[in-house]
Structure 1
Amino acid sequence: MAIVVAVSRDDQHNFSKVECDSITLLKGLGVEGDAHCGTTVKHRSRVKKDPTQPNLRQVHILQSELLKELQEKGFDVRPASLGENILIEGIDVLALPRDTVLKIGESTVVQITGLRNPCLQLDNYQSGLTSAVLDRTETGEIIRKAGIMGIVLQGGVVKKGDSIEVELPAEPYQALERV
């Protein structure tokens, strides 16, 4: 069973977020009280390029299995430290196709838009972390393991222990790309 392990937000553009008892997702905007909440992009490097582009990064979802993997490699990471809004367990989020819908808790619905692209802020947080969240397939393609991004289709409250239901989009599936 897939569940929410932790939730977090931060009203500043800090790398890590603050773990909370619950977060409220707002339709078409993101996480209430989070620096990335809004209809247009809020990620600072993307705002510099085009502040009018749509915010496809309203919610950052990370698999708890990655934290365990990083801890085994000696990194000091815990819920909220990598900037995720929702830490989940029991779903291989990297294997989901684009436009997958996650029904979280009683009413919240998030549509997956793509992969989080790891940036050098990871190394500013802990040396070597950027390369630790990147891998390569046998054919040399980059695997980005830093979670997925989504938009809020239906708002509501999300809290630790909430169940998650996965609805795949119609085939043919489109692979996740960085957003």
Structure 2
Amino acid sequence: MGKVLAVCRSEKKGTQKMNIGSGFFKEGFGLEQDAHGGSWHRQVSLISGEKIEAFKKKGVDVVPGAFGENLIVEGIDFKELPVGTHLRCNEVLLEMTQIGKECHTHCQIYHKVGDCIMPREGVFARVLHSGIISVGDTMEIEEPKEKQPLRAAVITLSDKGARGEREDKSGPAIANRLRESGYEVIEEILIPDDEEELKRELIRLCDQRRPQLILTTGGTGFSPRDITPEATLLVGDKEAQGVAEAIRYASMQITKRGMLSRGRAVIRKETLIVNLPGSPKACMESMDAFLDTIEHGLELLQGKGGECASV
């Protein structure tokens, strides 16, 4: 249980948020009149009051809103909560969607002391139910009434697709298949065959958005620009060889050229990353090989489910 210490808003992007004491949080948008509200996953930003107090001990006098946060709450360490956590404050229901963020342009605080806690301690949420939050209100962690769907992201690697020279069909096909299987697809990304860019996207998704599954398509062959397996291995904590082996085995039952796929499967933190081929047909055939089986493994990654062995 936590206590709201500040409700902050900025009406223009690039300006510091100010404590307004009370605000209306609108379903599907965020804090009313806040410049960062909208139809996206980072509608509301939150930070723990204790984290701000610890930062102040560095000798920096910060006021509410200085880190770009909408809500300061004492008594809850948001960073330690899993993405998908529901937070209840009065009638307002929030769902955590991201932990931390990339900092492309350092804020005034960073330039003063060489540090800012928002990129590593702040979290983001979307508004599931509207209502008013005011300073002094109580916030609680609420158990979701229904089982939450597994979250997934799809990354397509294609030089021509990224340049707009070719329509990407594999990515949408994968995303549709995931939705049909009950997954929530949180992001669909199209990037060139660039190792550094793929690594950045994989790290961002795994460390901040934290889906249970990421599927990549493209870049698994013998072409000099096919770098997907190499980038995937570099970001992984450990391999999931069985998944990649199952895909290749299933592909070789259809065509001997299946042996030419270099796709890998790895685990980073609590996310499974699987490389799929570049064609829509091959992607669907690959997903046939593992999609109905991996849910147990994904649950184990989250600390749920039992042992694999049966009595």
TM-score normalised according to structure 2 size:
0.45
The AA in structure 2 aligned to 1:75 is V
The AA in structure 2 aligned to 1:24 is F
Query: CA offsets per residue over residues 19-45 of structure 1, 9 Å max, x none?
Result: 102011000111100011111xxxxxx
Q: Identity rate of aligned residues, in percent? A: 30
Match among 30, 40, 48 for residue 63 of structure 1? 48
The aligned counterpart of 1:177 is 207
Alignment of 1:157-168 (within 5 A): 157-168=132-143
Q: 2:98 is paired with a residue of what secondary structure?
A: strand
Query: CA offsets per residue over residues 71-102 of structure 1, 9 Å max, x none?
Result: 10122212111111110000111100010000
CA distance in 1, matches of 2:124, 2:113: 19
The AA in structure 1 aligned to 2:57 is E
CA distance in 1, matches of 2:82, 2:143: 7
**Structure in which a larger fraction of residues adopt strand:** 1
Q: 1:82 is paired with a residue of what secondary structure?
A: coil
- Verify the 8 A CA contact 2:109 2:116 in the aligned structure 1: no
The AA in structure 2 aligned to 1:124 is Q
Larger radius of gyration: 2
Higher relative contact order (CA 8 A, sep 6+): 1
Q: Cα–Cα, structure 1 residues 77 and 64, in superposed 2: closer, same or farther, change >3 Å?
A: same
Unmatched segments (≥5 aa) in structure 1: 40-54, 135-143
Match among 75, 94, 112 for residue 110 of structure 1? 94
- Verify the 8 A CA contact 2:86 2:93 in the aligned structure 1: yes
CA distance in 2, matches of 1:121, 1:129: 15
The AA in structure 2 aligned to 1:111 is E
The AA in structure 2 aligned to 1:72 is K
CA distance in 2, matches of 1:130, 1:58: 27
Q: How many residues are treated as equivalent by the alignment?
A: 153
Match among 66, 83, 89 for residue 81 of structure 1? 66
Taking only aligned residues, the RMSD between alpha carbons, in angstroms, comes to: 2.6
Shift of 1:129: 5.1
The AA in structure 2 aligned to 1:94 is K
Query: CA offsets per residue over residues 40-69 of structure 1, 9 Å max, x none?
Result: xxxxxxxxxxxxxxx110000111111111
CA distance in 2, matches of 1:38, 1:9: 14
The aligned counterpart of 2:5 is 5
- Verify the 8 A CA contact 1:63 1:93 in the aligned structure 2: yes
Q: Does 1:100 align with 2:85?
A: yes
TM-score normalised according to structure 1 size:
0.75
Unmatched segments (≥5 aa) in structure 2: 152-205, 210-311
CA distance in 1, matches of 2:116, 2:136: 28
